[in-house]
Amino acid sequence: MAGLKIESDGHPVRLKWHRLRRQLSDPLFSLDVMRTGFALGASMELDLRVRGDGGFVVLHDEELEGETTGRGRISGKILDELRNTRMRDGERPLTFSEDLAAMLQSAHPDALLQFDMKDEYEAIGNKGIEHLAAHLQDMSASVIVSGHCLDLIVAVRQKLPHLLRGIDPTDKLVDIYRQEGLRAVEKSLLADISGPTEPDTIYLQWSLLLQAAHDGLDMVSLCQSQGKRVDAWTFTLKNPAGGFSDAEWHDFSALMALKPDQITTDEAPATERAWSMRLAG
């Protein structure tokens, strides 16, 4: 199975490949997986960290030690200093924003690549935004730029209005939920949806969606009523070969009943297969 989407009661839900992994056994941020996804028309996500020269590198952590053979903060390195650095798994070279711009030219029209920005706008600044503009000016809706920093997404909207945008207010909403309750969550979410980022997609943790729905707030429906798509992150099977456990099936089927537009997973083909097997009895 390709791991592109599943369907429930006629409602299609895309499966997004988290950190460029179609399955957990794939290397982190695999260019081979991205090429496959571009050919199939998959929805995929990668993380970007800003370099000292304003460009970006495909990594999650702010320091090189965890994921690569390098040392130090990424924001203090320029491109030439990173060219000989390798990923720890497989000694693969790093992927830079310059590489992504070239690869995007060959993407399937249905493919969607999410640039999840891990730095604040204060760190990225105008230099980083100008870098994105220089390399993504001719890109179509094949790219969606997301992040939790709303100032950053506003800056992207102003400089690159043709790109899709996403926001992830999960952490903020969890705190509001705990301290002020569900009505305050609804108010805050609506404010973000209608705010200056003008987002296409709202990224929300799947367990938050289920808890809120249990307590009386359908956050998926709320977002969709405002013309926004919803990505529920990140649901990954503990035993991909064995399919859903009963507890996982309870949660996943409840999530599907909310009808999100997309579900982020590290095991897309296995999730599609497990879904089909459960529906078939």
Q: pLDDT per residue over 188-209, tens digit each?
A: 999 999 999 999 999 999 999 9
Question: Kind of pairing, strands 5-8 and 11-17?
Answer: antiparallel
Residue 218 has pLDDT above 60, yes or no: yes
Strand partners for 167? 147, 202
What pLDDT is stored for residue 24 in this prediction?
96
What pLDDT is stored for residue 281 in this prediction?
77
Q: Compute the distance between CA of residue 225 and CA of residue 9 in angstroms, rounded to an integer.
A: 19
- 103 against 219, higher pLDDT: 219
Q: pLDDT per residue over 35-51, tens digit each?
A: 999 999 999 999 999 99
Q: Compute the distance between CA of residue 230 and CA of residue 221 in angstroms, rounded to an integer.
A: 9
Give residue for tokens 């949806």.
193
Give residue for tokens 């078939």.
280
Q: pLDDT per residue over 167-184, tens digit each?
A: 999 999 999 999 999 999
What pLDDT is stored for residue 105 in this prediction?
80
Q: Compute the distance between CA of residue 277 and CA of residue 248 in angstroms, rounded to an integer.
A: 14
Q: Compute the distance between CA of residue 255 and CA of residue 251 in angstroms, rounded to an integer.
A: 6
The pLDDT-based confidence of 104 (bands split at 50, 70, 90) is confident
The pLDDT-based confidence of 139 (bands split at 50, 70, 90) is low
Q: Compute the distance between CA of residue 176 and CA of residue 126 in angstroms, rounded to an integer.
A: 31
Q: What DSSP designation does 60 have?
A: S
The pLDDT-based confidence of 140 (bands split at 50, 70, 90) is low
Question: What is the mean pLDDT of the segment spanning 250-264?
Answer: 98
Mean pLDDT (the chain, rounded): 95
Q: pLDDT per residue over 48-96, tens digit each?
A: 999 999 999 999 999 999 999 999 999 999 999 999 999 998 889 999 9
- Please give the single-letter amino acid code of residue 7: E
Residues contacting 22, CB < 8 A, separation 6+: 3, 33, 36, 37, 42, 268, 269
What CATH superfamily classification does 27-167 receive? Phosphatidylinositol (PI) phosphodiesterase (3.20.20.190)
The pLDDT-based confidence of 17 (bands split at 50, 70, 90) is very high
- The domain segmentation of the chain, as residue ranges, is 1-24+168-281, 27-167
What pLDDT is stored for residue 174 in this prediction?
98
The Cα diameter of the chain in Å comes to 55
Question: What is the mean pLDDT of the segment spanning 88-116?
Answer: 90
Residue 152 has pLDDT above 80, yes or no: yes
Percent of the chain scoring above 90 in pLDDT: 90
Residue 249 has pLDDT above 80, yes or no: yes
The CA–CA distances, whole Å, from 269 to 5, 29, 35, 57, 234 equal 9, 17, 16, 27, 15
Backbone dihedral angles phi then psi of residue 205, each to the nearest 5 degrees: -65, 135
Output the CA angle 56-133-224, nearest 5 degrees.
90
Q: Which of 72-76, 99-103, 109-113, 224-228 has the lowest mean pLDDT?
A: 99-103
Does pTM surpass 0.75? yes
Measure CA 157 to chain center. 18
What pLDDT is stored for residue 141 in this prediction?
54
CB environment 180-216: b (16+ within 10 A), e (fewer): eeeeebbebbeebbeeebebbbbbbbbebbbebbeee
